[in-house]
Amino acid sequence: MKDYNLVDIILPLAIADVYTYRIPLANPSPLTSAALGTADIGKRVLVPLGKKSIIGIIYRPHEGTLPKHVKVRDVVQIIDQTPIVTAQQLHLWEWLSQYYMCTMGEVLAAALPSEIIDDNYAAAICQYISLPPTLLDHHAQEALLSSFGRAKKQEQLFRTFLDLAQGQWQVERRVLLESSGVSGAILRLLIDKGIFLEEEHPISRLRRYSGAIGSPHPLDTQQQNAANAIRQAWQDKNVVLLHGVTSSGKTEVYIHLIEEALQKGKQVLYLVPEIALTTQLTERLQAVFGSQLVVYHSRFSNAERVEIYNEVRGERGDEKSKVILGARSAIFLPFRDLGLIIVDEEHEPSYKQQDPAPRYHARSTAIMMAGWYGAKVLLGTATPSVESYHNATSGKYGLVEMKERFQGLQLPRITIVDLQRQYHRKEMYGHFSDPLVLRMREELSKGKQVILFQNRRGYAPFLQCSDCGSVPKCPNCDVSLTLHKAHHALVCHSCGHSIVAPQRCPSCQGEYRTHGFGTERLEEEISALFPHAHVARMDLDSTRRKDSHQRIIDSFSAHKVDILIGTQMVTKGLHFDDVSLVAVLQADMLLNKPDFRSCEHAFHMLEQVSGRAGRKGDKGEVIIQTFDPKNPVFDYLKKHDYLSLYEQQIAERQLFHFPPFYRLIIFTLKHRDEQRLNAAVTLLRERLEQTFGPRVSGIITPSVARVHNMHILQLRLTIEATANIHRAKSLVREHMAYVVQQSAAKGTIITPDIDPL
């Protein structure tokens, strides 16, 4: 008879998928049977690993027997009474690890808040002051009050307590001290005398909405038609793409569909790009869904994430946590009864996780999940990704359109300014062309607001010595250092390395000249051009503190700021009623990337930033400055003509073997030692070529070929969309494993990126 069961356990490690352990059945000494509990799938266990212990998740009973020489160790403890990971979550993890080619452990580490896996979550504690039973009576209280005599402070403290307690006989310690203005020492005195009792209770860290809730706005005709068409399309398709111009009222349509899902008792996952998770959106949803709404994003502390995780699991009753508004990582929450997933701004590249593994796309993942939960998916955007639009027009997804802005508001007028000509004629103030300055003057004098977009932070992307031509570079990366003037610093935007900005070139004492410009430079130029305007800057540097992003948005909303300068942070989902003019200072950086998606991405970004103009009342205006005014992307933009952009892009994709007709895998190889790296990449290329022939690219040197002292090279594998991708991936796995075992390539890190962006 067997006296143990073998189980496979997922540990938060990148090495193997599963680790097998024994769960003793009978006579489990020295363990108590209570410590072992029942070994259900999805519970946490403590297991020995080397000389340490580590927490993992029970994945499945181990199938088959293990080779004789393998010594399987015993599980130390089963931590949970009930599973904390659901069967559907495990299914998701399996899919992610197979599709994106990483280990289950890497998925686990991304999927669970680290305090769950370290088991060091502690509830927040709140201290309360209460009364002993003898003092609950009014007469006893009066008697006590008159006995204080000259101990005025004590009397004051007790009176404040009675005021605050309002018959509940319990007041938060902190509140009592603050309201009474009496010291903690006096409070201690009364506690020691037995007049007050001290109590501690665990409290939720989650701020619950307790304001008023109301019905959603009634939909206008266009919105009603869209909502009906979506419901209709869901009859026989799981996924619907809602293509609606900016400000057409998509969010309001979502709200109505969410309400319907809730009425059926379902949960709803509402995904937005991290940066679009503003209080503007949260407040709009809270006004309808009240405390049923939970928000989840990376700025929450680990402890807060644990509490949200438990709420979504339904630990504390069913009423709450029905609508989960979150950034991409919210797909990992333990949903019970998911009925609808909304992916807003579905075209956003930030839905793809870059590092570390799993390098998943939240949109693709959401669509897979919906299948397992029997849920419906709504993808919404003003500028669909080429992939989604292709799926919609080929009939795989439903397609619903909203072509008008809400209340017939007009889409902004777009003007292209030729920078070459402006510079030639000397009609520039710094980086501002004459027409732009003129229009800014006009709009500001009318009391309107302006947004300036430049997708680069800092003052200048590089310095160059005007004598010897040298450029300060990062010692660890192949990157020029960006000047941050306010901090007198040169900073590497790749690894963060920072040095004091030198006054002169250290080798020849020549003077430095700045090249290019970032948001910080614009801010300086603006103050010179418009000395009376209130200016704010929104970029990574100005939003490092916890609430600073929100504070900038609030002050711009309240019109305390006239001009908002920003990187792509200003392009996402914000509504400002008084913005009549939006300017893109230099579009060229968006257009000149060596990437098959650069035209699509430039269109997305320019159309999104344009959407911030003229959201109320008058028609807005967008001015785009560029050295390449003939670029076809501007023709599409001027007419807000997504369809032509799409047709041009999809033709190119087919011609040059890109998605959605082909799947891509990019292999990134890294090593400190260039020789080893070269050996590894050559070897991998040879192996892949044996299997995939001409589908393997030549060796690619990325635009930044060294980061953190690691040299980087890449290969690209292009596979027909119709091919058996599972088979291809398992061959790829074998080749990668082979290469890292060869001594010439030793120590090379190979990371595959599936469906790279």
Contact residues: ligand ADP, CB under 6 A = 217-220, 223, 244, 246-252, 406, 575
E strand or H helix that includes residue 444: helix 434-445
Q: How far apart are the first and last CA of the chain?
A: 54
Contact 25, 45 (CB under 8 A): no
Question: Which one of ligand ADP, Zn ion, none is in contact with 494 (Cβ closer than 5 to 8 A by kind)?
Answer: Zn ion
Q: Cβ closer to ligand ADP: 218 or 395?
A: 218
- 3-state SS class at 47: strand
Q: How would DSSP label each residue in 247-280?
A: TSSHHHHHHHHHHHHHHTT-EEEEE--GGG--HH
Q: Which of 126, 138, 141 is nearest to 196 (CA)?
A: 141
Least separation in angstroms between CB 231 and ligand ADP:
17
- φ, ψ for residue 504, nearest 5 deg: -130, 165
Q: Which is nearer to ligand ADP, 401 or 628 (CB)?
A: 401
Task: Determine contact, residues 681/711, Cβ cutoff 8 Å.
Answer: no
Q: State in angstroms the smallest separation of the CB of 319 from ligand ADP.
A: 27
Q: Which does 497 bind (CB under 5 to 8 A by kind): Zn ion, ligand ADP, none?
A: Zn ion
Place of tokens 């009066």: 142
CB of 415 to ligand ADP, least distance (A): 23
- Binding partner of residue 249 among ligand ADP, Zn ion, none, CB under 5 to 8 Å per kind? ligand ADP
* Closest CB 382 distance from ligand ADP, rounded Å: 7
Which of 311, 323, 314, 308 has the alpha carbon at shortest distance from 272? 323
* Residue 251 near which of Zn ion, ligand ADP, none (CB within 5-8 Å, type-dependent): ligand ADP
Q: Which does 492 bind (CB under 5 to 8 A by kind): ligand ADP, Zn ion, none?
A: Zn ion
Run of H or E residues at 285: helix 279-289
User: Is the CB of 256 or the CB of 685 nearer to ligand ADP?
Assistant: 256
Query: Minimal distance in Å, beta carbon 757 to Zn ion?
Result: 23
d(CA 702, CA 714): 7
- β-pairing, 662-671 vs 749-754, is antiparallel
Beta bridge partners of 338: 267
DSSP code per residue over 137-194: SHHHHHHHHHH-TT-HHHHHHHHHHHHHHTTS-EEEHHHHHHHH---HHHHHHHHHTT
Max intra-chain CA distance, the chain: 96
Residue 599 contact among ligand ADP, Zn ion, none, beta carbon within 5 to 8 Å by kind:
none
Q: Which is nearer to ligand ADP, 246 or 649 (CB)?
A: 246
| Amino acid in position 231 | R
Q: Which is nearer to Zn ion, 182 or 492 (CB)?
A: 492
User: Measured from the CB of residue 485, what is the shortest distance to Zn ion in angstroms?
Assistant: 19
Q: Which run of H or of E encompasses 510?
A: none
Nearest distance in Å: CB 439, ligand ADP: 24
Beta carbon of residue 255, minimum distance to ligand ADP (angstroms, whole number)? 8
User: Out of ligand ADP, Zn ion, none, which partner does residue 495 contact, by CB within 5 to 8 A per kind?
Assistant: Zn ion
The candidate with the shortest Cα–Cα distance to 542, out of 522, 565, 524, is 565
Please, what is the minimum distance in Å from the beta carbon of residue 569 to Zn ion?
23
Q: How far apart are CA 711 and CA 249, in angstroms?
A: 48
Residue 611 vs 660, nearer CB to ligand ADP: 611
* Shortest Å, Cβ 17 to ligand ADP: 41
- Residue 553's H or E segment, with its range, is helix 548-557
Distance CA(594)–CA(701), nearest Å, equals: 12
The number of beta carbons lying within 10 Å of the beta carbon of residue 741 is 9
Query: For Zn ion, which is the closer residue by CB, 482 or 649?
Result: 482
Closer CB to ligand ADP, residue 47 or residue 276? 276
Q: Establish how many alpha carbons lie within 13 A of residue 263's alpha carbon, considering only the half-sphere containing its beta carbon.
A: 6
Q: Of 518 and 611, which CB lies nearer to Zn ion in the complex structure?
A: 518
Q: How far is the CB of 405 from ligand ADP (least distance, A)?
A: 8
Give the nearer residue to ligand ADP in terms of CB position, either 597 or 612. 612
Binding partner of residue 477 among ligand ADP, Zn ion, none, CB cut-off 5 to 8 Å per kind: Zn ion
Check: CB of residue 406 under 8 Å from CB of residue 613: no
Q: Pick the closer one to Zn ion by CB: 312 or 492.
A: 492
Residue 543: Cβ within 10 Å count: 20
> What gap in Å lies between CA 642 and CA 633, rounded to an integer?
10
Question: Residue 455 touches which of ligand ADP, Zn ion, none (CB < 5 to 8 A by kind)?
Answer: none
Q: Which does 395 bind (CB under 5 to 8 A by kind): ligand ADP, Zn ion, none?
A: none
Binding partner selected for residue 217 from ligand ADP, Zn ion, none, CB under the kind-specific 5 to 8 Å limit: ligand ADP
Q: Which does 67 bind (CB under 5 to 8 A by kind): ligand ADP, Zn ion, none?
A: none
**251 or 449: whose CB is closer to ligand ADP?**
251
Shortest separation between residue 223's beta carbon and ligand ADP, angstroms: 6
- Residues found near Zn ion in the complex (CB under 5 A): 474, 476-477, 492, 494-495, 497
Instruction: Give the span between the Cα atoms of 119 and 46, in whole angstroms.
Output: 10
Q: Which residues pair with 716 in a beta bridge?
A: 666
